[in-house]
Structure 1
Amino acid sequence: MTASPKSRRRVLVGVSTIAALSLGVGVAAGSRITSPEDAAAKTAPPKASQITVPVEKKALASKVVARGDTSFDGAVNIRVETSGLTTPAVVTGKVPTVGSTLKEGKALLEITGRPVIGLAGVLPMYRTLAPGSKGPDVLQLEQTLDRLGFDPGTVDSKYDGNTAHAVEQLYQAAGYDAPEPGEQLTQAVDGAKKNLDQLKNAVRQAERTLKQAKAVPGNKDLSVEKGALSDAQDALDEAETALADAKFKAGTPLPVSEVVFVKTLPRRVDDVKVERGGTVNGVVMSASGASLVVTIKVDAQTQERLKAGMTASLDLGDGTLVPATVRRISRNGDQYDVVVAPKSVTPHQLELLRDANVRVTIPVKSTNGKVLTVPVAALSAGPDGSSRVEVLRNGKIELIGVTVGLSADGFAQVTPTGDAKLDESDQVVVGK
């Protein structure tokens, strides 16, 4: 049976539609299928690019930064030698308070109504000094008196009348009567005076006797009378010498119980061991230096970069920086103690620093103004060991040789070598 023309057209349209649909499905499926090579290409990371930073001009400063505890420098125990006293060593006044300052030439304490005067010196007071005393302790005393403005005459190791007079001035300046010599010495002076008076009378009597003998007519032999007068005058001369010697020995002494030598003064009282009415027995007080210091600990490598006299600063924690100076450096086991002292502090700053843990900064070295700098990470070593940086210019890397100067805070001072150029804002490679 033959199909009609109309039926044939419907079949052709259906076949065409199915073909078109099949083509669309194939195209869609093909678009979703990727080869392994294409997939790898699409998932690979992008090509690495350089990380750069600009060259900068700025000042660099290398510094040591550490924290340390504050203290008052050089604590010492102060003892008073009371063995020379004939009465109990009772504290009668001038008991200092903790935090007060011991000043040179002033009374640190009163014992049995007498002052204990503080003087600066390394030798302790171990004996009473008086006219006729000799030794290094006398030399130390005279040096101290002379420094304080009390003239001891020739500064030597002999305690003489000038020394005694200077001691009197010391006591007067401290507000006390000078010490009295011992009773035996004053009695010796009194005895020498009486003997001198008697011998003066003897000389006058011998003179009258000689005068009377001369008045006798025909009396030409006056040898006895002249001999008696000569003997009387010799005895008088000896008596005058004995009185001068007695007065010298009875000059103003310096009792062992009335002076304490401390290595340095002034000092701050840290602790008081006695009270008024109590008896002195050993240490009477402990005192530190009047100047506050901060001690930081550093290793041997850091210590080599530091020295006494360097400037420093103390951070009070409120943004205030107090200028300071490195006072001394000493070894303490495997570490080193660096003692830093403020140049001056106000009473308020002193209170903030007292018993505090403080941040200390010590500049070690700095550049002379602004210099070319790059991050330390930008530096690399060439085959010959020289330093260099990679500079990105016009999309290309150039190796620039440099001389490295001061390094601080992650940056280094650089100077291009030879004919190489390196300018501010040039981009140096620090990573990829």
Structure 2
Amino acid sequence: MSRARSRTLLVVGGVAVAALVAGIFAGTRITSPADAAARTAPPDASEVTVPVELRTLNSEVVTRGDVSAAGAVDVVPEVGGLETPPVVTGQVPEVGAEITEGTALLEIVGRPLVVLAGELPMYRSLRPGMSGPDVEQLEVTLQRLGLDPGEVDDEYTAATGDAVEELFERIGYEPPEPDPQAAAELEAAQDAVDAAEDAVRQAEQALDAAGAGPADAERVAAENAVAQAKRDLAAAKKQGDRTLIAQAEDQVRLAEAQLDDLLDGRDTSVEEAALDTAKDQLAAAREDRDTAAASAGTPLPASEVVFVPSLPRRVDEVHVRRGGQVNGAVMSVSGATLVVTANVDDAARELLAEEMPVAIELPSGTEVAGTIAAIEEAEGDGATGHDVTVAPGELTPEQVEELRGANVRLTIPVESTDGDVLAVPLAALTAGPGGESRVQVLRAGVAELVEVEVGLTAQGYAEVSAVDGELAEGDLVVVGESADADPDAEAETET
């Protein structure tokens, strides 16, 4: 019995120990309502501070813009006056080729299409005798190319035609042929000049002959007549016959007068009048010849010249091929100068002005300098804001190709501080009861309000200087408060 009772006591003791352990464990898992509330309450907030910095602030406008070539235009030759189909026979340029002034842009029916710079299109063929603003534009262009069109005015003269002739010879083509009728009139006028010159020469010869002295035989005969008359007078005086003497004296006077006339020269008034008439006729013939020559000077057919606003330019598209026919635009050319166009809102527009510097970021990441060339109100359906045109500075050929057609980042500095200034984040600024600006400085755990004057604000910072109180680099200013995680979220997790 004693052995059985011992086993019973052991079992009871083991159960009691197990119950005690279970009770202790359960006690650790029991949370009172007060404890639960304490554990789920939000923690005390604490200030978030940042140090006051010394930094240079830069206010800038950052936007993006599309790169394009300035002034793209379509080249449309005037081929309506051609007598044959406008077949392209050569000189077709490749896309990307640069075209310069005074060169053959294309060859149509064996004739060049010369490209020149000018605002007015080639709307008619030009020839000597014409006038107008298109003539003046042509003469200005010829003079710019080092050709001499004579006086630069609105009159197409023979000198203008000579300059046009030299232009075509310079690029290796025969000059345009003059009008056939004008050429025939010039030939006839030149024949008239030749005839008038012959008449003048003949009249001059006649005058020379009339004004020359007598031949020796004529002079000797006249002298002999005088001598004979004197001998007859001497014989009459010997005879004493007054009548014979008087007759002999008359004969002497006549012979002497005839000798004097012969020695003094002949009357050439008739020959002189004939020469004057011949010279007048020659002058008139030459004037007619000059007029005809002006009309028959080198013309400029409309089909052989095209004007574009500026040169040099780049060929963007070619719409013709050798052997094909011209029908409208033969190619599209754009200015060799690239521009970047960006659109900004009204607020940014107020900060910008022409000639302001711009940093242009190339697709490769490098930057090139540029300037604002123009600011205009955006036009077109649905357009808003303002279009800003930026002209890049000097570019390398590689940069030109990289920029062409790209969309690039533009940074436009608007304002900057003069070196480093005290700066705080914008979040550190608060407004006082009187509208003054303040920052809250934390010193040794104690917050102190310092009134400040705010200068330039940029890049999320504001330039500040203390008005009432002290503020220095490294001082900690309050920018907000922080707390632990969301208490509601913690309570849900606890539940």
Report TM bin, short chain.
Answer: 0.7 to 0.9
Q: Name the stretch that deviates more: 301-310 or 115-124.
A: 301-310
Quote the residue 1:391 is aligned against: 441
Instruction: State how 1:103-252 maps to structure 2 within 5 Å.
Output: 103-211=100-208, 224-252=270-298
RMSD of the alignment, in Å? 3.0
Number of equivalent positions: 401
Say yes or no: does 1:411 pair with 2:461.
yes
Letter paired with 1:278: G
Quote the residue 1:3 is aligned against: none
Checking the alignment, whether the CA contact within 8 Å between 2:363 and 2:402 is kept in structure 1 is no
Give 1:299 deviation, angstroms: 1.9
Give 1:97 deviation, angstroms: 1.5
Distance 1:168 1:146 in 2: 13
Percentage of pairs with the same residue: 54
Letter paired with 1:263: P
Give 1:39 deviation, angstroms: 7.8
Quote the residue 1:430 is aligned against: 479
Distance 2:368 2:314 in 1: 21
Distance 2:471 2:183 in 1: 92
Quote the residue 1:76 is aligned against: 73
Q: Name the stretch that deviates more: 94-103 or 63-72.
A: 63-72
Quote the residue 2:390 is aligned against: 340
Letter paired with 2:314: R
Instruction: State how 1:357-368 maps to structure 2 within 5 Å.
Output: 357-368=407-418
Match of 1:264 among 295, 306, 310: 310
**Structure 2 length-normalised TM:** 0.72
Quote the residue 1:5 is aligned against: none
Give 1:280 deviation, angstroms: 1.9
Quote the residue 1:327 is aligned against: 373
Letter paired with 2:456: L
Give 1:376 deviation, angstroms: 0.8
Say yes or no: does 1:310 pair with 2:356.
yes
Distance 2:318 2:40 in 1: 81
Quote the residue 1:88 is aligned against: 85
Give 1:221 deviation, angstroms: 6.8
Structure 2, unpaired ranges of 5+: 1-22, 215-257, 482-495
Using a 3 Å threshold, how does the CA distance of structure 1 residues 56 and 172 change in structure 2: closer, same or farther? farther
Give 1:53 deviation, angstroms: 0.7
Give 1:269 deviation, angstroms: 1.5
Quote the residue 1:61 is aligned against: 58
Structure 1, unpaired ranges of 5+: 1-24
Match of 1:284 among 314, 330, 334: 330
Give 1:41 deviation, angstroms: 6.7
Cα distance per residue 1:267-306 (max 9 Å; x no partner) = 2222212221222222111122223333332222222322
Letter paired with 1:374: V
Secondary structure of the corresponding residue to residue 122 of structure 2: coil
Say yes or no: does 1:99 pair with 2:90.
no
Give 1:114 deviation, angstroms: 1.8
Larger radius of gyration: 2
Using a 3 Å threshold, how does the CA distance of structure 1 residues 258 and 415 change in structure 2: closer, same or farther? farther
Quote the residue 2:248 is aligned against: none
Distance 1:79 1:96 in 2: 15
Cα distance per residue 1:306-332 (max 9 Å; x no partner) = 233332233334432233333333313
Checking the alignment, whether the CA contact within 8 Å between 2:363 and 2:406 is kept in structure 1 is no
Letter paired with 2:477: V
Give 1:227 deviation, angstroms: 3.3
Cα distance per residue 1:370-412 (max 9 Å; x no partner) = 2221101111222332322222223333332322222222112
Using a 3 Å threshold, how does the CA distance of structure 1 residues 416 and 250 change in structure 2: closer, same or farther? farther
Give 1:231 deviation, angstroms: 1.8
Secondary structure of the corresponding residue to residue 193 of structure 1: helix
Distance 1:383 1:150 in 2: 79
Distance 2:206 2:40 in 1: 145
Distance 1:136 1:278 in 2: 34
Quote the residue 1:10 is aligned against: none
Using a 3 Å threshold, how does the CA distance of structure 1 residues 121 and 384 change in structure 2: closer, same or farther? farther
Secondary structure of the corresponding residue to residue 142 of structure 2: helix
Using a 3 Å threshold, how does the CA distance of structure 1 residues 372 and 171 change in structure 2: closer, same or farther? farther
Distance 1:182 1:357 in 2: 53
Give 1:342 deviation, angstroms: 3.1
Letter paired with 1:376: L
Distance 1:250 1:408 in 2: 73
Secondary structure of the corresponding residue to residue 283 of structure 1: coil
Q: Name the stretch that deviates more: 353-362 or 405-414.
A: 353-362
Using a 3 Å threshold, how does the CA distance of structure 1 residues 423 and 106 change in structure 2: closer, same or farther? same
Distance 2:71 2:115 in 1: 16
Checking the alignment, whether the CA contact within 8 Å between 2:375 and 2:389 is kept in structure 1 is yes
Give 1:351 deviation, angstroms: 4.0
Give 1:256 deviation, angstroms: 1.5
Distance 1:384 1:150 in 2: 77
Cα distance per residue 1:214-260 (max 9 Å; x no partner) = 67988977555443332221101111222222223333332222211
Secondary structure of the corresponding residue to residue 119 of structure 2: coil
Checking the alignment, whether the CA contact within 8 Å between 2:313 and 2:336 is kept in structure 1 is yes
Give 1:95 deviation, angstroms: 0.8
Give 1:43 deviation, angstroms: 5.8
